[in-house]
Amino acid sequence: MSPYVFTLLIFNLGLGTTMTFASSHWLLAWMGLEINTLAIIPLMTRQHHPRAVEATTKYFLTQATAAALILFASTSNAWLTGEWAINQMSHPLATSTIMLALALKLGLAPVHFWMPEVIQGLDLTTGLVLSTWQKLAPFALLLQVSSTVNPLILTLIGLLSTLIGGWGGLNQTQLRKILAYSSIAHLGWMVLIIQFSPPLATLSLLIYIIMTTSAFLTFKLTSSTTMNALATSWTKSPMMTSLATLILLSLAGLPPLTGFMPKWLILQELVKQDLPMLAFFAAMTALLSLYFYLRLCYTVALTSSPNTITMLTPWRLNPTQTSPLNPLTTMLTLALLPLTPAILALVIY
């Protein structure tokens, strides 16, 4: 891909998301989403691999469906109530359809099936963009409509996402699929809390983005996309692979790592809303996710797989895929929990 085209596409990727952020009118928000989708499509097929093309096709179809649903719902809302503003939706038909469409865009539980398939077809960098940046625009819309959506739908989607996100990842050996399921589970937590405390949901998204970035970048550093490759990857960068254990446990949400913070705050908020049983079930579904993270931990650093002599040498070479972002996000992934009060003060109050 020519660097000019690449720059143009990256610029449009940013333009789409910021347009959605900035708009208060459904039409503009929809347009931002479409620009966003259009811009990422050539980026996804950059490898020209048949799997990438297949993934792109699937992605395009789902995103186009979701965008069409959004357009349909916002138009019908305007038709029925005469209101185009995003945060003033009132008709239940429109809000439910919008919620479904946004769930499809974000890859939430009943309509999540495209997510693992698509991420599996992409390279790790594009997968990272897909599971971080591409979540932002739909999430911004979700934040604005969440107060009008039926709370039961939100809760069901959230709980189902955490459950499916944990369940689906159990039997996977492909890292990208596992990360996709982890994304589903994390977004489920955010949807659970979004009706009670939107800032908290934003904070969770932020923390999730930081954590998943370090996971993707670490896997990229060792160029591993399956558990087998991960098992032999410690020869490439022993330090990063031992940190990868902690990154994965942070994604699983174990204290004293950063990943515990959003879970803790979300559970606290749920209990504060007098929903302790919901909090309990959500916490239990986190155990399902923990299982596959734990399995990854076992392969990445806690066991040493049998190796040939030639496999043992790569640590002598400097890794080629380093990213300056990786140390930063890894530090944040591991050590943000003690800063919880400061972050709370910044984000929520």
Tokens 């990422």, located at residue: 40
CA torsion through residues 57, 63, 69, 74, sign = negative
* Binding flag, residue 256, other proteins (CB under 8 A): yes
Report whether the peptide linkage leading into residue 256 is cis, meaning its omega lies within 30 degrees of zero.
yes
Binding piece for other proteins, criterion CB under 8 A, among 4-12, 110-118, 210-218, 325-333: 4-12
Amino acid sitting at position 138: P
CB 234 within 8 A of CB 301: yes
Residue closer to other proteins (CB basis): 143 or 243: 243
Residue 28 interacting with other proteins (CB under 8 A): yes
Q: Which is nearer to other proteins, 90 or 303 (CB)?
A: 303
Residues between 264 and 303 that touch other proteins (CB under 8 A): 264, 267-268, 271-272, 276, 279-280, 283-284, 286-287, 290-291, 294, 297-298, 301-303
Nearer to other proteins, 47 or 323 (CB): 47
Q: Which of 92, 110, 151, 255 binds other proteins (CB under 8 A)?
A: 255
Alpha-carbon separation of residue 173 from 167, 198, 292, 293 (angstroms): 13, 34, 9, 11
Q: How far is CA 316 from CA 165, 197, 245, in A?
A: 38, 49, 22
The verdict on 35 binding other proteins (CB under 8 A) reads yes
Instruction: Using the minimum distance from each CB to other proteins, give the nearer residue, 19 or 332.
Output: 19
Contacts of 8 by beta carbon, 8 Å cutoff, 6+ apart? none
Q: How many residues bind other proteins (CB under 8 A)?
A: 50
* The one among 10, 14, 18, 53 contacting other proteins by CB under 8 A: 53
Helices (H), the chain: 3-22, 26-44, 50-81, 92-106, 114-121, 124-131, 133-145, 151-169, 175-194, 198-221, 227-231, 238-252, 260-272, 276-297, 325-335, 340-347
Residues 199-238 that bind other proteins (CB under 8 A): 238
Which of 104/286 has CB closer to other proteins?
Answer: 286
- DSSP 8-state assignment for residue 315: G
Does 42 help bind other proteins (rule: CB under 8 A)? Answer: yes
Q: Which is nearer to other proteins, 112 or 263 (CB)?
A: 263
x/- mask, other proteins, residues 131-160, rule CB under 8 A, reads: ------------------------------
Cα separation, 109 vs 168, whole angstroms: 11
Q: Which residues bind other proteins (CB under 8 A)?
A: 1, 5, 8-9, 12, 19, 28, 31, 34-35, 38-39, 41-42, 45, 48, 50, 53, 56, 238, 242, 245-246, 249, 254-257, 260, 264, 267-268, 271-272, 276, 279-280, 283-284, 286-287, 290-291, 294, 297-298, 301-303, 337
